[in-house]
Structure 1
Amino acid sequence: MDYAAALVDEDRRFADQLAGRDWSAPVPTCPGWTLNQLLRHLGRGHRWAAQIVRDRRDTALDPRQVEGGKPPADEAGALDWLRASGRTLLDAVETTGSDTPVWTFLGPRPAGWWIRRRLHETTVHRADVAIALGLPFEIDSDLAADGVSEWIDLLVAETGPGQRGHDSLEAGVSLHLHATDTDAEWTLRGGPGGVACESVHAKSTAAVRGPASSLLLGITGRKTVTDVFGDESVWRTFLERTPL
């Protein structure tokens, strides 16, 4: 998958949804936020990651120190700022080198890691905008499936004691996710060290089936998924115990 091209396209689609809308409208899936705050969050986040990459940082960057982190006050300028924010990250990765290690919240990773991370930050927040405005959320099934994989990758990487995914599944409990419009499948298993995942079909304590877009929105808490088989409490508990 061309993550760079997808990031540019998703930023464009995010901006297009906001054109001509009331940005003071609340975002139900991001409690306490407005559409304007969501736009600022996404664009500044892209530029925050770009600055980390460009400066080859080995420590976190204070978001208040992001260069160009505030959009212009007018709508057209703010939307252009958002559309350019992802490109700022792509330019930084190209200049620094995709394989150059830089800081991430998971420890040092290649600079190119940030492109996929920011891509799926955009896909999910684009869904937030669609939900807030009552618009349909359309996304390529392979891109949505990759979003599920990326979300699970982050969860598995943060399963140590006290980390985000440590208590998501009880030891011996398994959860199978099956995207019905792609070949993508994931089987998550709880163990003493947290959650592990294999991209395989396997009999599990609970299974969730649906289009990849529904699984992406379900696993990120944006949509209720109803096609749950087996012990439904496993899915419900998984969502309750896994911070977004």
Structure 2
Amino acid sequence: MSSEGDLEIIRAEGTRLADVAESAPHAVIEIYRWDLTGLVVHTGRVHRRTTEILSQRRTERISRPPAPETGIIEWFREGVEEMCTAIAETPEDVEVFTFGMGDRASFWLDRMLLETVVHRWDAENAAGEPSIIPTDLARRGIEEFSRMWAGLLAPHEKVTFEAEDSGDAWSLISEGDGSRLVPGKGTANITDTASNLYLWLMGRIGLDAPETVTAAIAGLSRPPN
């Protein structure tokens, strides 16, 4: 896959995650109740499984490899680089396991970009110094939410939200056993930055949404592991 800009973002976000975890290893992430050492272990294992899926062209779900008992931060940093190399060296149309999301290797670039960005935010937030998710990445995250998780939401009332920085808008509509996230402007129930809207959908922050929507998001299991 050829997207050096995205790979540089993964490297930078991974470096920031590791730096924060190294400086505040016992800070706790509220959503998972992990400390930052646990976050590094989780994210590093996800990265290394991705490397194995791509480098070995695995088409079935595999377990995340174990982390070492010592040297976690360095192990994580090395794993970020190994994963970026595997992504760069894998043609995007190669068939691999993707949680049923198209079975093409191109899935993993976006998934690991967003995985790393969100967990960087988790680390910073736990340490008391969260920075925003850049608007373009947040928009991509909202699009991924539409593909991967909207269909798993419990029933809720319709909500329309608009990103004040990008001008994008979406409606989250409950249908049958799931929901659809439909782009397009309407009367917005919620207006905020794309970063905050994405973090809200991912269960990281609260926004002034209808109670049924808040409950549906809170009850969602994510991301796939």
Shorter-chain TM-score: what band? 0.7 to 0.9
For structure 1, list consecutive stretches of 5 or more residues without a partner in the other structure: none
The alignment status of 1:19 with 2:16, answered yes or no, reads no
> What's the TM-score once normalised by structure 2's chain length?
0.85
Cα–Cα, structure 1 residues 141 and 107, in superposed 2: closer, same or farther, change >3 Å? closer
Q: Tell me which residue corresponds to 1:35.
A: 36
Matched position secondary structure for 2:147: helix
- Please identify runs of 4+ aligned residues in structure 1 that moved more than 3 A: none
CA RMSD of aligned residues (A): 2.3
2:125 is aligned to: 131
Q: Alignment length, in residue pairs?
A: 219
Task: Classify 1:242/1:84 alpha carbon distance in 2 versus 1 (closer, same or farther; 3 Å).
Answer: same
Whole-Å Cα distance in 1 between the matches of residues 179 and 212 of structure 2?
13
- Cα displacement (A) at 1:142: 1.7
Contact 1:102 1:111 survives alignment (8 Å): yes
| Higher gyration radius (CA) | 1
Partner of 1:178: 162
Find the aligned partners of 2:181 and 2:26 in 1 and give their Cα distance.
40
Match of 1:70 in 2: 67
Cα shift at 1:192: 2.6
Q: Select the residue among 164, 168, 171 that pairs with 1:187.
A: 171
| Aligned residue identity for 2:18 | A
Q: How many Å separate the matches in 1 of 2:213 and 2:35?
A: 29
Structure 1 residue 106 displacement after superposition = 2.2
Give the Cα–Cα distance (whole angstroms) in 1 for the partners of residues 80 and 117 of structure 2. 13
Which whole-Å CA distance do the structure 1 matches of 2:21 and 2:177 have between them? 43
The runs of 5 or more residues in structure 2 that have no matched partner are: none
Contact 1:30 1:128 survives alignment (8 Å)? no
Report the CA distance between 1:237 and its aligned residue. 3.3
Matching residue within 164, 179, 184 for 1:200:
184
Q: TM-score, normalised by structure 1?
A: 0.79
